[in-house]
Every structure is written in C-alpha cells, then in structure tokens.
C-alpha cells in the first residue's frame, strides 16, 4: 500500500519543534526538536517513558501549548501565526481531545457535557447531535445522569461522544484507558477505533499499552523530549512482508 506523502496532504507537520521552560532551577528542555508528519486518516500510537514529553507534544498539536521554537502545522494552518482567538477557532473546527481523567463538567448532565460545547461553537442542533453522539457510544439511557452518577467507563464514553460530535479531523487521546480496568478499557478502545474509522478521523493515541499501540498504523517513540523512532521503518517492513 502506498501513502501520499506530500506536504499538502499532511494533517500534522511538526518541524524542529522545541519547548523550553524557564524554571527557578534554570531552563528545562521539554521538547528537543520534534519532526513528525502524520497523514490524514492515519492512526499513530505514541509511546515512551513517563516524562518523555508525550502529553506536551499533544498539547502542542492541539494549539494548547506554544512551542518556543520550530513550526507546527495542523490541518493546513500554521499555529504560530494564530492569536488566541484563532487558536480557539482552530481547536473548535479541527481538534477533539480525550484525556485520561475524562475532564467532564460535574455540574452538567451527560447530554449537556456533549451539547454545550457544540452550542458554544454555534451549532443550532447541538442537543440533537449530542443525543445521537451519546447513542453511538451506548449511553442513550444515561442522558440526564451527572458524571458523579456514572462509572469511569461511562464517563469516558461521554468524553468520547463529546470529542467526536464536533467531527474533528484530528482526535488526540492521552492515555484514554489509564483510569479504567482492563475490560472497560478494551471496550473504550474498540469504540475509539470504531468512531475514528467510520469518520476517517486521524488518531494520535498516547498509551502505555503495547497492544494498543500495535493496533495503530505506526508507533512513534519518545525519549527525553526527542522522537527516537517515528515508526515508519517498521511500517514499511510490515507492508513489504504483507506484499510478498
Ligand atoms: N508546565 C511545566 N513546567 C515544568 N515542567 C513541565 C511542565 N509540563 C511538563 N513538564 C515536564 O516536561 C516533561 C515532559 O512531560 P510530559 O509531556 O507530561 O511527559 P509524558 O506525557 O511523556 O509523561 C516532564 O519532565 C515534566 O515534568
Ligand atoms: Mg503524559
């Protein structure tokens, strides 16, 4: 299988991305020159030891953290050229995020958690779409429950519904099964891949679970703020073997 590799079709393009923070103890180099291209519809697993920069790289892709060096292009936009309003619009139009800790609003029902962000984004049919989104993750019977009345797995389903209803081109997931037991985590993963597949969503999935990373098209490995393996060689070898 051949994949387009032109810059035009690249959905994520990190070019020499650095992030340095100045702490009391001196400068800390968190990202040390990341170069990474992701094509539309690709599913990329991100692995690496704790503290290697995985979450920070994701925040940079989401436009939630500004790098101190290099260029970040996502969905055709150079994020460095956008002001805060521009970044907010960029996120609204292109990015969905799922966190390990769900990050639902405790005072809003499941339905409101999914619908309100859509409504803020100007969708007239926010509540209808939220209802179908929650149906798609098997929560039609939990619409009026508050997060505190839902299990961890159910809360993560709400978070998945919230991320997908806006139909992002890029879905970023930071250890989405990290707070769940193995069985529940597996269900969430099935749902995540299924939703991404059906919509052709590009998936960047940070995980400690090698079997999860194996389900992706390739695995990017970070170490100490650097990409030590972008997974392309392993993928090329898999495709060569499959082609024999
Ligand atoms: N706001 C911050 N201030 C100082 N150090 C930070 C900050 N955010 C992250 N770090 C440091 O950057 C490194 C990478 O963090 P992170 O991206 O969360 O790693 P990972 O997700 O791979 O565990 C860690 O050493 C962490 O302590
Ligand atoms: Mg992390």
Share of the chain above pLDDT 70, in %: 97
Q: Which atom of ligand 1 is nearest to the CA of 30?
A: 12
Query: Smallest Cα–Cα separation from 126: which of 177, 158, 165?
Result: 165
- Parallel, antiparallel, or unpaired: how do β-strands 170-174 and 202-206 relate? parallel
Q: Does position 108 have pLDDT exceeding 90, yes or no?
A: yes
Q: How far is the CA of 57 from the centre of ligand 1 (A)?
A: 10
Q: 175-221 pLDDT, tens per residue? A: 999 999 988 988 899 999 999 999 999 999 999 888 888 899 999 99
- Going by alpha carbons, the residue nearest to atom 2 of ligand 1 is 21
Ligand 1: residues whose CB is within 6 Å?
A: 21, 23, 28, 30, 48, 50-56
Two tokens, residue 84: 């805060």
Q: Measured in angstroms, how far is the CA atom of residue 59 from the centroid of ligand 1? A: 11
Residue pair 97/55 in contact by the 8 Å Cβ criterion:
no
pTM of the model: 0.92
- Nearest C-alpha to atom 13 of ligand 1 is from which residue? 51
Nearest ligand to the C-alpha atom of residue 176: 2
What does the alpha-carbon distance between residue 203 and residue 113 come to, in Å, rounded to a whole number?
A: 22
Distance from the alpha carbon of residue 167 to the mean position of ligand 2, in angstroms: 24
pLDDT reported for residue 6: 54
Asked if pLDDT for residue 8 goes beyond 90, the answer is: no
Q: How confident is the model at residue 1 (pLDDT cuts 50, 70, 90)?
A: very low
Q: Name the token pair of 103.
A: 């990050």
Confidence of residue 2 (pLDDT cuts 50, 70, 90): very low
Q: State the CB neighbour count (10 A cutoff) for residue 155.
A: 24
Ligand closest to the CA atom of residue 56: 1
Report how far ligand 2's centroid is from the alpha carbon of 101 (Å).
Answer: 11
- In sequence order, what are the beta bridge partners of 101? none
Domain ranges of the chain: 42-66+83-243
Residue 5 has pLDDT above 80, yes or no: no
- Rounded-to-integer distance, Cα 111 and Cα 131, Å: 7
Q: Which run of H or of E encompasses 20?
A: strand 12-23
In the block, tokens 């998936």 appear at 203
> Per-residue b/e over 187-203, b at no fewer than 16 CB within 10 Å?
bbbebbbebbeeeebbb
Backbone phi and psi for residue 233, each to the nearest 5 degrees, phi listed first = -65, -45
The CA-atom distances, in angstroms, between 43 and each of 49, 93, 178 are 20, 20, 19
Q: Closest Cα to atom 24, ligand 1: which residue?
A: 51
Q: Which ligand is nearest to the CA of 52?
A: 1
State pLDDT tens for residues 110-165.
999 999 999 998 999 999 999 999 999 999 999 999 999 999 999 999 999 999 99
CA distance 115 to 139: 14
The correct CATH number of 42-66+83-243 out of 3.40.228.10, 3.30.1360.70, 3.40.50.300, 1.10.1740.10 is: 3.40.50.300
């Amino acid at each position: 299988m051949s994949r387009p590799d032109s810059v035009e079709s690249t959905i994520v393009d990190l070019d020499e991305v650095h992030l340095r923070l100045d702490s009391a103890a001196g400068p800390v180099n968190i990202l040390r020159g990341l170069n990474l291209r992701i094509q539309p519809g690709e599913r990329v697993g991100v692995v690496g030891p704790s503290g290697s920069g995985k979450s920070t790289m994701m925040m940079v892709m989401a436009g939630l953290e500004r790098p101190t060096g290099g260029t970040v292009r996502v969905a055709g936009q150079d994020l460095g050229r956008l002001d805060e309003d521009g970044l907010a619009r960029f996120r609204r139009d292109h990015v969905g995020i799922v966190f390990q800790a769900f990050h639902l609003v405790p005072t809003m029902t499941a339905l409101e958690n999914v619908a309100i962000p859509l409504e803020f984004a100007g969708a007239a049919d926010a509540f209808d779409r939220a209802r179908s989104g929650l149906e798609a993750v098997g929560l039609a019977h939990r619409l009026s429950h508050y997060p505190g009345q839902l299990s961890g797995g159910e809360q993560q389903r709400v978070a998945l519904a919230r991320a997908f209803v806006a139909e992002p081109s890029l879905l970023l997931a930071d250890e989405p099964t990290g707070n769940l037991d193995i069985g529940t985590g597996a269900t969430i993963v099935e749902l995540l891949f299924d939703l991404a597949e059906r919509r052709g969503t590009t998936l960047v999935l940070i995980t400690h679970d090698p079997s999860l990373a194996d389900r992706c098209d390739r695995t990017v490995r970070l170490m100490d703020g650097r990409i030590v393996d972008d997974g392309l060689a392993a993928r090329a070898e898999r495709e060569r073997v499959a082609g024999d």
